[in-house]
Amino acid sequence: MTRFVLRRLLQSAVVLLGVTLVVFLLLQLVPGDPVRVALGTRFDQQTYDALRERSGLDRPLVAQYVSYVGHALTGDLGVSFRSGQPVTTIVLERLPATLSLAVTAVLLALLVAFPLGVLSAVRSGSALDHAARVFSQFGVSVPDFWMGIMGILLFAGVLGWLPPSGYVALTEDPARWASHVILPATAVGLVTASILTRFIRSSVLEVLSEDYVRTAEAKGLRARVVVVRHVLRNALIPVVTVVAVQLASLVGGVIVIEVLFAWPGVGRLTYDAVQARDYPVLQGAVLFVAALFLLMNLLVDVLYARLDPRIGLR
């Protein structure tokens, strides 16, 4: 286990190095001067030169990249052009809001998708199965921002039950946090639930056709026992990957939803950084998302081995 984790961490470091290089090169192709954007319309040449020097933009590109990677290894992702704050601090400040939204959305998606996908597979061809497939197709086809807009119009505009936007920290006021998170989490969670429903249904159907399941049924075991003891454990293995990827994507930032609901998360931070050409913040946010995906992949591999001992860690 230790050797496997160390090897994967080394591979992840190489991938992150490649991510930093690609992002750095792409940002050089973006038109405009980030220093001029940060300073606004009124500034003198001395102030302009001082900010370029402080940001390291006056050095050659190779020197800029080497310096960035060297500082990143120590946890220093640079300083924001706009606020002057360390990028690491900015990203970590936005992380709780994104985590609360992502975890809530995934839990909601699992509450809907898990029973619906299992029952749809067990009762294949029934009215419930057809309804589950319609729901899944609808969720995949309809964008989450449209669901968010409809939710705002109905529950905030017409009924007045929920606030249309904003954020309150969970630790500050759990009740107000819940009222603010319901709409964005539902908009994202329903789309995620539709994706998970399809994967869970397909996975359970595949396992139901295995010989050992038919053998268990031939022995006279009740259908519920067969599903719980023999089907779900094996059907969950591919589902773990989908859940982990969905969670990583949401933590990485659902940009449109966070902008729509004025949710101060990583996605909104990335959007604002692009608008302001705040390159250090944008690089830091992308690096954070890439590291999160790699961490999720590592956790999935470990969970695979726990769920199915036949899968070894190599």
Q: Mean pLDDT lowest for which of 43-52, 163-172, 180-189?
A: 43-52
pLDDT at 41: 66
Number of domains in the chain: 1
In this structure, is residue 171 part of a structural domain?
Answer: yes
Query: Mean of the pLDDT values across residues 272-281?
Result: 82
In this structure, is residue 161 part of a structural domain?
Answer: yes
In this structure, is residue 122 part of a structural domain?
Answer: yes
CA-CA distance, 1 to 12, in Å (whole number)? 16
Which residue type occupies 271?
Answer: Y
Given a cut of 70, is residue 98 above it in pLDDT?
A: yes
pLDDT at 208: 77
Given a cut of 70, is residue 108 above it in pLDDT?
A: yes
In this structure, is residue 39 part of a structural domain?
Answer: no
Which tokens hold the place of 265? 């998360």
pLDDT at 310: 60
pLDDT band with cut points at 50, 70 and 90 for residue 1: low
For residue range 119-148, list pLDDT tens digits in order. 888 888 888 888 888 888 888 788 888 888
Query: Mean of the pLDDT values across residues 13-20?
Result: 85
Residues 6+ apart with CB under 8 A from 176: 168
User: Using alpha carbons only, what angle is made at residue 310 by residues 308 and 314, rounded to the nearest 5 degrees?
Assistant: 105
Higher pLDDT, 35 or 195: 195
pLDDT at 307: 64
Query: Mean of the pLDDT values across residues 280-306?
Result: 80
pLDDT at 143: 82
In this structure, is residue 166 part of a structural domain?
Answer: yes
pLDDT at 9: 79
Contact 180, 264 (CB under 8 A): no
pLDDT at 37: 67
pLDDT at 253: 60
Q: What share of the chain is helix, strand, coil (3-state, %, to 5)?
A: 75, 0, 20
Got the DSSP string for 102-130?
A: HHHHHHHHHHHHHHHHHHHHHTTTSHHHH
In this structure, is residue 38 part of a structural domain?
Answer: no
Higher pLDDT, 236 or 91: 91
Query: Mean of the pLDDT values across residues 26-34?
Result: 73
pLDDT band with cut points at 50, 70 and 90 for residue 71: confident
For residue range 302-314, list pLDDT tens digits in order. 777 666 666 555 5
Note the helical H segments in 162-218.
174-208, 211-218
Q: Which CATH number belongs to the domain containing residue 118 in this structure?
A: 1.10.3720.10
Average pLDDT, the chain: 81
pLDDT band with cut points at 50, 70 and 90 for residue 75: confident
Q: Which domain holds residue 207?
A: 94-309
pTM for the full predicted model: 0.79
In this structure, is residue 175 part of a structural domain?
Answer: yes
Given a cut of 80, is residue 32 above it in pLDDT?
A: no
Which of 106-110, 158-162, 277-281, 301-305 ranks highest by mean pLDDT?
106-110
Which tokens hold the place of 110? 């699992």
In this structure, is residue 28 part of a structural domain?
Answer: no
For residue range 196-242, list pLDDT tens digits in order. 888 888 888 887 777 777 777 777 777 777 777 777 777 777 777 77
For residue range 140-184, list pLDDT tens digits in order. 788 888 888 888 998 888 888 888 888 888 888 888 889 999 999
